[in-house]
């Protein structure tokens, strides 16, 4: 563990919030990209294919090739089928998301599949679909969401306006479920699996009401859900 300076520990919550606000204000001063820099039409969030540039990115960064992919899919499928305590889809579309996340290392992808289902089993309340309407209503609020178009690199751009979240109306667990739903929806697209995300956190209006919920256990829960 790193040592936290005493002056940071003694800083009041008000000062912390002010520091965060200053950081956001400094971002507002960043120059806008020149129109000449944007040489291609923006890609839709809903793109369901890989562009030639994305295919090349997958080859270089993820080691995805026409030679490697079929064998990796078959090996991962076999590992899942031979695991007694694991019930999981084994279609190509589902498995490719895990292989890409682990650069086509089959053993690591298999571990990720195990972690995925283990986490869902351990936290059934988060993935309970009986109250879909309330989660949908939360997603429709102007608190979070994805831009309609991806950035120039093909990344999904997610925006979180944390200051608009009222924990009294929408408890942390409900917010977690909504964030999970957004991520699950966006990761189904091959372009997202290859290019990833850009996340924008708008902290204007942030207060202690939201900060006090950033506990180690809540942060660990968020991290574990993506591992």
Rounded Cα gap, residues 21 and 37, in angstroms: 29
Q: Check: pTM over 0.95? Answer yes or no.
A: no
Tokens of 118: 């283990």
Task: State the number of CA atoms in the 13 A half-sphere of 214 facing the CB.
Answer: 8
Tokens of 87: 């019930």
DSSP code string of 187-211:
HTSHHHHHH-EEEEEE-TT--HHHH
The tens place of each residue's pLDDT in the chain, 227 residues long, gives 333 333 333 334 444 445 444 544 444 444 444 444 444 788 999 999 999 999 999 999 999 999 999 999 999 999 999 999 999 999 999 999 999 999 999 999 999 999 999 988 988 877 776 678 888 888 999 999 999 999 999 999 999 999 999 999 988 888 888 888 899 899 999 999 999 999 999 999 999 988 888 788 877 777 777 66
Rounded to 5 degrees, φ, ψ at 41 are: -65, 140
Rounded Cα gap, residues 47 and 25, in angstroms: 33
Rounded Cα gap, residues 28 and 182, in angstroms: 26
DSSP one-letter code for 60: H
């Amino acid at each position: 563990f790193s040592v936290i300076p005493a002056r940071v520990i003694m800083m009041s919550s008000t000062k912390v919030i002010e520091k965060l606000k200053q950081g956001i204000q400094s971002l507002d001063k960043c120059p806008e990209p020149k129109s000449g820099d944007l040489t291609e039409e923006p890609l839709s969030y809903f793109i369901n294919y890989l562009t030639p540039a994305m295919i090349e990115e997958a080859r270089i960064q993820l080691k995805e090739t026409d030679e490697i992919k079929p064998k990796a899919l078959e090996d991962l499928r076999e590992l899942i089928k031979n695991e007694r305590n694991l019930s999981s889809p084994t279609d190509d579309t589902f498995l490719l998301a895990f292989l890409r996340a682990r650069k086509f290392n089959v053993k690591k992808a298999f571990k990720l599949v195990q972690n995925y289902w283990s986490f869902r089993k351990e936290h059934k309340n988060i993935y309970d679909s009986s109250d879909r309407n309330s989660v949908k209503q939360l997603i429709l609020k102007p608190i979070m969401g994805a831009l309609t178009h991806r950035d120039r690199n093909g990344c999904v751009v997610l925006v979180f306006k944390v200051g608009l979240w009222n924990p009294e109306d929408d408890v942390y667990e409900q917010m977690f479920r909504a964030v999970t739903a957004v991520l699950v929806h966006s990761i189904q697209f091959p372009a997202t699996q290859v290019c990833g995300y850009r996340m924008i956190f708008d902290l204007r209006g942030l207060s202690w009401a939201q900060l006090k919920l950033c506990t180690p256990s809540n942060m660990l829960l968020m991290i574990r859900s993506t591992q």
